[in-house]
Structure 1
């Protein structure tokens, strides 16, 4: 099973509801109108393929066979089926019902995924039928708002009562009954970024209630593929018009259709009617250009204000959604609106204007969805970053407290969640330690206030409250000055920007010291600030920049064992250590080297964790298929080879089989391209210079600027730096090589991209090196935090059923006792909104992957339970069995201490 043809099928399955190519002119309507005439249909279908379908697909997918696409569309939307409908909306509703019957069921009061095979699977899905539907659903769930299928399931099965909507909460539950029982024992989320913990439903809610808080985001073209701010604002207005009609027109069936309802002869009514017709036809409307003004005019006309202003809680904004004046507040307004719209269209198919506007609304919503939720088409964190920014930059509330509360609520509503670690970046723009501490303190106050209030609400309903902890992550960034460095300027003037990554490293140290000081100063805060990490684009900042930081953080000489307050003693919890690494790498060697550097240079040991670590489980042979030629900076390739050389020379890795003399010669050839003059350079000296990078970047240069005498002035220095007298003779040594890392003359050549071939005979070496690193991690008890959906989208995972967690830990399935197959792993979400997932579904995708492999269900359930329990045990949050009252008292005391700390500044 390969993900490319699967992804193509997914795009075609939902093409009528997803692609903005149909916004201006619905080509399916033309096909339907021509369905009774074979010649006319053939011409219409040919035009549809060439002018709509192929160009739209070619934007996001490499098309191998046009014939394949034609046959798939013919299978999904056959001409014989089109003959049965007078309007395209009937075709769409019937097709949604078909998809719903194929994918959706319900169990224990919840809308769930239908993982077993049924009669519709073979016809539409072919080999992706049955259990393989889970893999296809994983892709579908990230290009299409599957909530429509949940609504259709209720309507098609006689559950028209709106109270049934309470069984649906944005994401379809994937776990089957037996896995559900395993997860009910409790799960831990140990790798999730707080800013991305929101949901698409939350973002869409804010977009459909535009206010001064998010208007700026809509005034610019924030979305690609013709979905600009004016389209989103048009949908906000259309939503009001549809909802108002359902209550005041269709509700009492006083009007035959929406066209008649808004055709009263009144100027404002006619304006609304004209807007709806233009919207249905995909025309640019005058109202769309006015955008926010037209939306506010509708609010005033329908008496649906006042709007929520800045500073008010987002939960209040949701409750005071303008449509909440019309629809019951006990439901999600969006769920209720779409549920009623579908029900109305099923009952009154003759209202074609209503249907046409509704499908336009769905297309724009799905286009926005596809720009906030990452699909499978391009890998790498560079591709991920725009999705993350679009999904997280939209302002949801007027204060940090309100946004944090709404985001945490989405996670803590999961009854199975026992521990929730959230990744948070320290304030990025603080210019001093004082500003940084104030920012940290203020953020913690908002965070604890939000958590406290949610915990009180959950406790009042008799529901469990997950323990919570913060892992501060330092953001990996490129050096802002690039290679424009001169260590002499630092030696003489102390200018940290003159050293490579020195300014960033100083900033990281300032952040770490502020975090550590707060943990030491505020009693019990160490139970909630539980760890540190470094995250974001792995290629931006190599581990050597962070190694001294983690060494200082781990130094027990700087930490107190207890808080001593009079007669009272309170234990200080140790800080946990994790690091994003081995996720997104140019060369397989780079990924392995970075992981090994973290393990060795950061002194990782039992209980520490590796974030992602995909390179540990991906098969080198599969990686090489896509990467037979790799482009990377020259210094990266050199250090990869120096890392191998160091492993070989250590004598503890006898399994490495390589041509040692050839390796040394390759190292020296690369070094010559950097240093030109090679006097004194040996492989050992280069390795020592590589090792020196993991120390804190020099506080002062080890030797200063040398004022040359008149006699020396005429003698040109052949190497290193022409402004410095050649100490120790005119040969390179370790010090000079170390200083060259902060010299533009050499950095430019170090960072120059080169192309490297990955030969088939090198695969065996990659496999051996991978085993060495994996064995080290397994022996030391280091836990790998996997994130199945994130890893499938970003790294070299073919598709969800081939996730590398199966390679890292094979207990209970292969019954293999080898160390390399016994790495401790956990399952997490990473960025829920970007991958449209939750922790339960991430477990479910791995579960179905193992079932698909043919393993015994009992063994798979035992394995899932072990991974679930390992997540709880490996969390940095210590289970202390506090009562609710004790927890609330502790948080209250911390907040008071934080307020006092803030007042001191």
Structure 2
């Protein structure tokens, strides 16, 4: 990590704001805007500069102290020289950003650095500082603050390529807006009565910063911290508005807090002050003021989709200007410094930047995206407006595939979609609605405890069945909105439930015959198209083999066909050598999953033509036999251990509806022969599995015990450690190659999401992204193996704070910087841009028509 970026992280994220507050009250420069105590710095720098000695970190501290003094030649001579930590921000912003007309852009060569630091602090933290300093130098006052939610790079060649047209094929609607900004604004303007929302935050996503060595560093409760931030914001705003009457009220409240009065005791006073500021200054949006800092006079220059962001940006801009011109005194500089720390702290609870990997970590962030907006209708609408309109109004956006959850009734689903339609069409000039595609995604949920007669994941099976029927009922109404519904998806944690749970629903909804429901003909049956299919798979797993098996299960159980897609599929392309090395050549998972994985990789590898070494073959058979006896034979006692091939045949039945396997043999065979059309039950058996497998009593029994035997379930849930050998790793790599070839042959595409995969998965560099293994055509003289149709997308662009163009740019720069072991450049720049254009075109080809 470079020193400047690390010091920004320490000063504005790691050091508790309470040090600044305590120093201010005690009138000592223990830790304030112009002096960071060395012992404080050293304590928190160890969390940032992980691989440095104490001596090296002391040098970093001295470097920071020196940088906080005015000495660089790009400052004007008359600059107020008492700006301390803010110079760190001005200096780094100047190195990373530049102004192109009215648009702030990131210098292309700084994009990876920008990505790392802006994810932590927020882009407005730097863009507003850069603009304030640039305007101050030029004697100019910017009026436009409603620029793009995420700024672009200044790579004009990349812009020109992408201007030819792009498709966004993986875009979760509720996770693709400015999550932090909207929650923050709603909270800063409606700070009272928030106990319920804050009670939902049961644990922090960042490392706890309470300092047991120094009571001055102890944090307040999260709600109290935000109360303080709301007070400081309105205080500084009224100071800059020069409203003597209201400022005196704010000054009085700040004074009370400094004297020790609890912020909770004056919550209503803070809210009343905010309300007065809203009534006096705030611009109305649909007859309501959403942010007092978005002033009436600002709307002349900022009335676009980014309007609600403009108020906070101008507030930050003006504070930075006051810092530069010396209009804030020492106390006010500390208040602004503390505000920035608290703002960053709150951001870290909503935007995934805590450097943990895995889907569970992401899911915790995902759950919080609307905590402080729920119930505030206009903020909810702005959430959708920012997510959809900003993207749809771009001329080069040819298609936007928004993922939304289906409802339990067609009425609720139609109402939800109509609301989105209203918001998108509300813009005076907007032809974007025709570009909007909906994919309805079923959330995966964790299983409930064993209940007699109930199969695995029955809670999800019942939920998705209801939701599938609501989708069909809506389609049967033949509304205009149906033209925008193109596909289905299964989202959320793969650890929760496997593709087998969704097999019947997928086959049901993806069949054209779904348009006959209750033997009533669909209104426009002749023109009906199959719903297309995609599936989040191979993103989060206990072992690469487990992720590969999940991908195979999607293809088999959900009856995937040419033109369908997989979301993420990281297990298919990450380096097994690096993955298992990182895991210490051990994986920890349940006995049932390991049993299934071993049977699958043993049998599937033979089917794909992989060479299985005799030593590894013997080890896998031995492990399979041991696990089978533990889980099944010792609990059901129905004869000797079946061969690994027999177990694999039984595994193929898992895409069937498990309730059918509770029937006795006579009834089962009768059901198996039924040919009459019974809408949903028609798809209870997977047509891609040979009927003879179902007719085998041993296979059926194994499948029955898998679902309905309590002892089998309990023993299978026990955790085991599995040691990975070199031979096993070679097999996994060979399996990946063969499955990539299989997907390419079958015409199955992959939706890649570079930043999402970087933050959730195990890759540590963008150039390690599996997209290069899926399809490296155009990048190498000789391409190895088949190429899968791939696309670049954003996933949850709000949670990951990204933009489609920046996903392309990050991959472009990563490839440009990539080197071999001898530090030789890996890729020619012309090949890189040709590859980017090629991926762009594949994204368009992936659009669900």
2:102 to 94, 106, 109: 109
Is there any run of 5+ residues in structure 1 with no aligned partner, and where? 36-40, 116-130, 250-260, 263-267, 431-435, 488-497, 707-730, 879-905
Alignment root-mean-square deviation, CA = 3.6
Question: In 2, distance between residues paired with 1:322 and 1:163?
Answer: 15
SS in structure 1 opposite 2:552? Answer: helix
Question: In 2, distance between residues paired with 1:625 and 1:335?
Answer: 45
**1:754 offset after TM fit, Å?**
0.6
In structure 2, the CA distance between the partners of 1:165 and 1:79, relative to structure 1 (3 Å rule), is: closer
2:160 to 159, 181, 192: 181
**1:816 offset after TM fit, Å?**
3.2
Counterpart in 1 of 2:774?
Answer: 808
Deviations 1:581-629 (A, max 9, x none): 0101110110111112212332222211110111122111111111121
Counterpart in 2 of 1:12?
Answer: 7
SS in structure 1 opposite 2:488? Answer: strand
Deviations 1:7-47 (A, max 9, x none): x9744333222235143337999999699xxxxx9xx8552
**1:424 offset after TM fit, Å?**
0.7
**C-alpha contact 1:198 1:410 (8 A) present in aligned 2:** no
Counterpart in 1 of 2:437?
Answer: 469
**C-alpha contact 2:751 2:793 (8 A) present in aligned 1:** yes
1:190 to 166, 169, 180: 169
In structure 2, the CA distance between the partners of 1:565 and 1:602, relative to structure 1 (3 Å rule), is: closer
**C-alpha contact 1:314 1:403 (8 A) present in aligned 2:** no
**1:79 offset after TM fit, Å?**
7.9
2:640 to 664, 676, 680: 680
Counterpart in 1 of 2:834?
Answer: 862
- TM-score, normalisation: structure 1: 0.78
Counterpart in 2 of 1:889?
Answer: none
**1:678 offset after TM fit, Å?**
7.0
**C-alpha contact 1:372 1:833 (8 A) present in aligned 2:** no
Does structure 1 residue 796 correspond to structure 2 residue 790?
no
Deviations 1:409-463 (A, max 9, x none): 3433544322111111123xx4xxxxx2222122122122222224x4435xxxx
**1:769 offset after TM fit, Å?**
0.8
Counterpart in 1 of 2:126?
Answer: 149
Counterpart in 2 of 1:666?
Answer: 623
Counterpart in 2 of 1:552?
Answer: 508
Question: In 1, distance between residues paired with 2:721 and 2:4?
Answer: 35
**1:834 offset after TM fit, Å?**
1.2
Counterpart in 2 of 1:276?
Answer: 254
Does structure 1 residue 100 correspond to structure 2 residue 93?
yes
**C-alpha contact 1:404 1:446 (8 A) present in aligned 2:** no
Q: Which moved more, 1:551-560 or 1:764-773?
A: 551-560
2:391 to 411, 428, 442: 411
**C-alpha contact 1:617 1:804 (8 A) present in aligned 2:** yes
Question: In 2, distance between residues paired with 1:536 and 1:466?
Answer: 28
Counterpart in 2 of 1:873?
Answer: 845
Question: In 1, distance between residues paired with 2:62 and 2:256?
Answer: 30
Does structure 1 residue 368 correspond to structure 2 residue 360?
no
Does structure 1 residue 638 correspond to structure 2 residue 638?
no
Question: In 2, distance between residues paired with 1:31 and 1:782?
Answer: 66
**1:297 offset after TM fit, Å?**
2.5
Counterpart in 2 of 1:493?
Answer: none
Question: In 2, distance between residues paired with 1:616 and 1:501?
Answer: 26
Question: In 2, distance between residues paired with 1:615 and 1:533?
Answer: 18
Counterpart in 2 of 1:842?
Answer: 807
SS in structure 1 opposite 2:356? Answer: coil
Question: In 2, distance between residues paired with 1:162 and 1:419?
Answer: 38
**1:223 offset after TM fit, Å?**
7.5
In structure 2, the CA distance between the partners of 1:476 and 1:167, relative to structure 1 (3 Å rule), is: closer
Question: In 2, distance between residues paired with 1:403 and 1:869?
Answer: 30
Counterpart in 2 of 1:297?
Answer: 272
SS in structure 1 opposite 2:539? Answer: coil
**C-alpha contact 1:476 1:537 (8 A) present in aligned 2:** yes
**C-alpha contact 1:135 1:801 (8 A) present in aligned 2:** no
Question: In 2, distance between residues paired with 1:220 and 1:376?
Answer: 19
2:704 to 739, 747, 757: 739
In structure 2, the CA distance between the partners of 1:104 and 1:318, relative to structure 1 (3 Å rule), is: farther
Deviations 1:845-868 (A, max 9, x none): 111111112422222111111111
Instruction: Give matches, 1:373-392, under 5 Å.
Output: 373-375=351-353, 377-392=355-370
Does structure 1 residue 697 correspond to structure 2 residue 665?
no
2:475 to 505, 511, 519: 519
**1:781 offset after TM fit, Å?**
1.7
Question: In 1, distance between residues paired with 2:578 and 2:268?
Answer: 55
Does structure 1 residue 755 correspond to structure 2 residue 715?
no
In structure 2, the CA distance between the partners of 1:813 and 1:402, relative to structure 1 (3 Å rule), is: closer
Question: In 2, distance between residues paired with 1:699 and 1:844?
Answer: 51
Q: Which moved more, 1:860-869 or 1:317-326?
A: 317-326
Question: In 2, distance between residues paired with 1:285 and 1:791?
Answer: 46
**C-alpha contact 1:786 1:828 (8 A) present in aligned 2:** yes
Question: In 1, distance between residues paired with 2:58 and 2:732?
Answer: 42
**C-alpha contact 1:89 1:355 (8 A) present in aligned 2:** no
Counterpart in 2 of 1:25?
Answer: 20
Is there any run of 5+ residues in structure 2 with no aligned partner, and where? 73-77, 209-218, 303-309, 668-695, 819-824
**1:231 offset after TM fit, Å?**
2.0
SS in structure 1 opposite 2:715? Answer: helix
In structure 2, the CA distance between the partners of 1:737 and 1:475, relative to structure 1 (3 Å rule), is: same
**1:111 offset after TM fit, Å?**
0.7
**C-alpha contact 2:404 2:440 (8 A) present in aligned 1:** yes
SS in structure 1 opposite 2:598? Answer: helix
In structure 2, the CA distance between the partners of 1:344 and 1:296, relative to structure 1 (3 Å rule), is: same
Counterpart in 2 of 1:501?
Answer: 457
In structure 2, the CA distance between the partners of 1:823 and 1:655, relative to structure 1 (3 Å rule), is: farther
In structure 2, the CA distance between the partners of 1:107 and 1:479, relative to structure 1 (3 Å rule), is: same
SS in structure 2 opposite 1:141? Answer: helix
Does structure 1 residue 818 correspond to structure 2 residue 784?
yes
Deviations 1:207-242 (A, max 9, x none): 221167967425776774546122223322322221
**1:874 offset after TM fit, Å?**
0.5
